Amino acid sequence: MVTITKKAHEMTGMLINALSIEGGQTEAQEYIFKHGLICYHKDSYLRNNGFDNIANSNLLKVERIDSKKVLADPYIQNFKCTYDISGNIVMGLERKIPGYYLAKYREDKRDPYTFARITSYCYTNIPLLLPVLYEGVNRKEEWMTVEPYEIMTHNSRAVKARGRVLLLGCGLGYSAFRLALEEQVKSIDIVELSPDVKKLYDKNVRDITPNRDKINDIILDDAIKYLYSTKLEKYNHIDVDIWRDTLDMIYPYLKCLALEDQYPDVTFSYWIENTFYTDLQAELLKIMLYLLVGSDGYFEEWTIPGLNTLARYIIRKSEITISSPADLNRLLNPAYLRKMVKEFALTNPDDVEKIGADVGKYITAGMSSVNKSQTHML
């Protein structure tokens, strides 16, 4: 189990600051929320209101990107579907990003000295109209968009694929599009749960995809069920893209990790995996602060179901003595955390299923409440 020395108490203030930042209390984040994430329409407005100084801080990264570069993405250039619907799934050019809108860009990471979350945004000088896939004509629950964040995170993974690829999740077909562009990718099997998504993809995206002969007919199935019922050694690379955020991700991600060691010759790639570990680090920091001060009153914000279970497991199983920030960095190292999360997935299948059930209940309840009394206890 993690051991905390008396000297570690010197980090209490640092952890309180880091977790208050986690809750959105930084000057930079307050500025963004105050202005509705929109900085109006002039660079001078940003400068005159002190935004440049905030944006250059260690906790917030803001990049101006060339709108022409975004619109030059080959998928966006070729996407012509303004609006199409199948069942209650809609595909179209309906994602509107205003000029000077601060949109999510790179994945979050954590400052190794203060342990604070570093958030990255981008903006362009002109409005953008981009592809989106959403559920419910009136509700508009977005499943996927193709905007700078998605372009950045999907492209960085596509270049690592090779040979015969299994893609879990079709969405707008952007991942399949990017994978098909890679010369080292020879064929692509796509598993998609929704017949409506398949219909929209086949009608609007398949024919605009370069090297579309690489893409086989979509397999209609639950992604995790398919993984556990298929001989995966026939693939060289498995790309998993069936979630929107850490909440969606935690259960299927654990199920995937439990399979990895059975297929040593297959590489696995997961969308927003870095963000998952940034969120897990936050949960570990909360527990560390609880151990230092004996109270969880500093972090009343909600916790993603399952993350606390993983964090408590890591605290119990880690033979690390915490005396300094360097020691805490050893505990928070993403490679180490991944090793421990995989160990949990392999050795605690019943707990994995419980996490899945808890997440399901949480989503069904509309993420309206969390049992805070049990959130941070060891």
In order along its 378 residues, the chain shows pLDDT tens digits of 999 999 998 998 888 878 876 754 444 445 554 544 444 333 444 444 444 444 445 667 778 889 999 999 999 999 999 999 999 999 999 999 888 777 888 898 898 888 988 888 888 888 999 999 999 877 668 899 999 999 999 999 999 999 999 999 999 999 999 999 999 999 999 999 999 999 999 999 999 999 999 999 999 999 999 999 999 999 999 999 999 999 999 999 999 999 999 999 999 999 999 999 999 999 999 899 888 887 544 444 457 889 999 999 999 999 999 999 999 999 999 999 999 999 999 999 999 999 999 999 888 876 543 433 333 334
**Structural contact between residues 373 and 296, judged by C-beta atoms closer than 8 angstroms:** no
Per-residue confidence (pLDDT) for residue 302, from 0 to 100: 53
In this structure, which amino acid lies at residue 263?
Answer: Y
Per-residue confidence (pLDDT) for residue 300, from 0 to 100: 47
CA distance 120 to 117: 10
CA distance 106 to 116: 16
CA distance 102 to 51: 12
**Structural contact between residues 83 and 24, judged by C-beta atoms closer than 8 angstroms:** no
Residue 74 has phi, psi (to 5 degrees) of -60, -30
| Residue matched to tokens 């609006």 | 83
Look up residue 90 and give its two tokens: 């809609």
Per-residue confidence (pLDDT) for residue 102, from 0 to 100: 77
Per-residue confidence (pLDDT) for residue 30, from 0 to 100: 53
- What pTM, to 2 d.p., does this model score? 0.89
Q: Ramachandran region of residue 127, left (φ > 0), alpha (ψ -120 to 50) or beta?
A: beta
Per-residue confidence (pLDDT) for residue 17, from 0 to 100: 79
> 16: Cβ–Cβ under 8 A, 6 or more apart, which residues?
289, 298
Per-residue confidence (pLDDT) for residue 118, from 0 to 100: 85
Q: Ramachandran region of residue 171, left (φ > 0), alpha (ψ -120 to 50) or beta?
A: left
For residue 205, the SS3 value is: coil
Distances (CA, A) of 13 to 9, 128, 333, 338: 9, 42, 21, 27
Distances (CA, A) of 103 to 120, 124, 146: 9, 9, 12
- Count the helices and strands in the chain (H runs, E runs): 16, 15
> 236: Cβ–Cβ under 8 A, 6 or more apart, which residues?
162, 163, 164, 165, 265, 266, 267
Burial class (CB in 10 A: 0-12, 13-18, 19+), 310: buried
CA distance 169 to 172: 9
